[in-house]
Structure 1
Amino acid sequence: MLHVLIADDEPPARKRLRRLLKPMEDAGRLTVAAEAGDGVDTLERLREQPIDLLFLDIRMPGLDGFEVLERLEPTRRPIVVFTTAYDDYAVRAFEANAIDYLLKPVSRARLEDAVGRAERLHRTPTARPDTDERLAQLLDWVEAQQQQARPAETAPPEYLRQLSIPVRDRILVVPVERVVSAEIQDGITRVYVLDEDMPGGKAHLRPHVVNYTLDQLEANLSPQDFMRVHRSALVRLEHIRELIAWFSGRYKLAMTGGHEVIASRERSRQLKERLLL
């Protein structure tokens, strides 16, 4: 029996999918274990209980469907069927990578086919590595498309030399050299900053919540010094202390102060080129 999670920010869409799944649930083929209304909630549900099949909406607030999968450890990823109301570039990507998807409004026949394929895949674990690899290729493709969509610079930009960070009733002015990384978690951007003059010269990091988005920080910090290593993480290159092999061709970056950041597979390749590895 498949344990199913329905992730969609639209209650009517979740209700319709659950209604279409009801005959299969009554037949003992699956059980709808949970529902989620946004990307953060989806990630929490996936981490707190075993899920075999995930119906995942692409466009959700907080984290979109692709970001949910990037944040989730590959070993914890269930079988994924994407759902989308948009017949756009994502659908072409699904077809090119043989990834299952459903166009809204979901039809009973198409849903039956998707569940049947998931059942066969669930019964044949040896087929999962191939499916996981196709999913990893899809995430790489999406990330590459986003990079290409960014507008080209027409004039040499002026980059920030320091960040102004509000801390309670004061504003902390931080030289960018002390910024180790900037990351977004649950819709909140945090900048990890090295404390000055720690006893014994030991590096210590302090996270600060800022009002910048990662896109704003990336656009205003020098690309010679900073690199986006994930859609949710930006790091200062000189603070990388070690690259540790991770899942699916990715690297875990050991940073100054003991902080760790996971790079996506595509950015891991780019990072190796930047570091001449």
Structure 2
Amino acid sequence: MSETPLRILIVDDEAPARRRLRDVLSDSSAALPLTVVGEASNGKEAIAQLEASKPHVLLLDIRMPVMDGIETAEHLLKLEPAPAVIFTTAYDDYAIQAFEVNAIDYLLKPIRPERLIAALQKARALTATRMEALKSAAGKARTHISIGDRGRILLVPLADVVFLKAELKYVTVRTLEKEYLLEESLVKLEQEFTERFVRIHRNCLLARDYIEGFERVDHDPEEGEGAGSGWVARIRGMAERLPVSRRQQHIIKEFKR
């Protein structure tokens, strides 16, 4: 019985580099059954193709516009099972970051066929169960938040996020147009995006860029009528007001400076 071909997605911002990888893969197909299911010029394009192409492996460049290879690999970790990642790059100074996002291998250009085949054989041997066990948090701050949605990844630009609000086991990610549910810790999100968001309540992080101001209200929004005055945050482009807890009211002075 023949082996199922390894499905490969090539991701590189340079067309000649993609052609070179195709040629190497074509020459190597006798040693390992494989098929190239697509190409992309950056990480965002690659993620958009995942549902249709269903790759087992991404051959992923690192330095690319729009979304680089390291951030792309971080988003791939949200998939179940996550496709394997083999970095193919001209730079040798990203190796530590590459293995923090569980790359199978790190190949320097020009790619030698025997090294690529060895890396692809490792990828084939790595089962979906083992990939799941390898998942870990990556250290680099993201430019997008990835939302798992029925086997797909939705990418929400961080610059579009107005606030993050913890509700039960989920975090609501709110933009001006939509809201999404995210299974991440609000504390970890605060640590990762501390420059962009400020905590205004124990369950809410508000993007600094969307803070229009603060206003006093007749009653504390946390306690209800008759509990004394309180503060709410006004949001640029949104009628909704968010309560500022007493513990976090020191930020009001910060924004008045």
Q: How does 1:103-252 map to 2 (within 5 A)?
A: 103-121=108-126, 124-131=127-134, 133=135, 136-137=136-137, 140-143=138-141, 232-233=158-159, 235-237=161-163, 240-243=164-167, 245=169, 252=171
Distance 2:75 2:102 in 1: 22
Match of 1:78 in 2: 83
Amino acid in structure 2 at the alignment position of 1:107: R
Structure 2 CA distance for partners of 1:48 and 1:105, relative to 1, 3 Å: same
Distance 1:82 1:43 in 2: 16
Amino acid in structure 1 at the alignment position of 2:92: D
Deviation at 1:259, TM superposition (A): 2.7
- Choose the corresponding residue for 1:15, options 3, 7, 19: 19
TM, length-normalised to structure 1:
0.53
Match of 1:260 in 2: 179
Amino acid in structure 1 at the alignment position of 2:124: E
> Residue deviations 1:81-139, cap 9 Å, x none?
12221111x21223466632211221222212211101111xx33212123x1xx43xx
Question: Aligned with 1:141: secondary structure?
Answer: coil
Bigger Rg, structure 1 or 2? 2
TM, length-normalised to structure 2:
0.57
Structure 2 CA distance for partners of 1:255 and 1:104, relative to 1, 3 Å: same
Aligned residues: 180
Distance 1:267 1:104 in 2: 40
Deviation at 1:243, TM superposition (A): 3.6
Name stretches of at least 5 consecutive residues in structure 1 with no aligned partner. Answer: 147-182, 186-229, 246-250
Amino acid in structure 1 at the alignment position of 2:69: G
Distance 1:49 1:4 in 2: 9
Distance 1:55 1:234 in 2: 29
Name stretches of at least 5 consecutive residues in structure 2 with no aligned partner. Answer: 146-155, 204-257
Match of 2:223 in 1: none
- Choose the corresponding residue for 1:39, options 43, 47, 52: 43
Amino acid in structure 1 at the alignment position of 2:63: R
Match of 1:156 in 2: none
Q: Which structure's residues are more often helix, by fraction?
A: 1
Deviation at 1:26, TM superposition (A): 3.8
Question: Aligned with 2:60: secondary structure?
Answer: strand
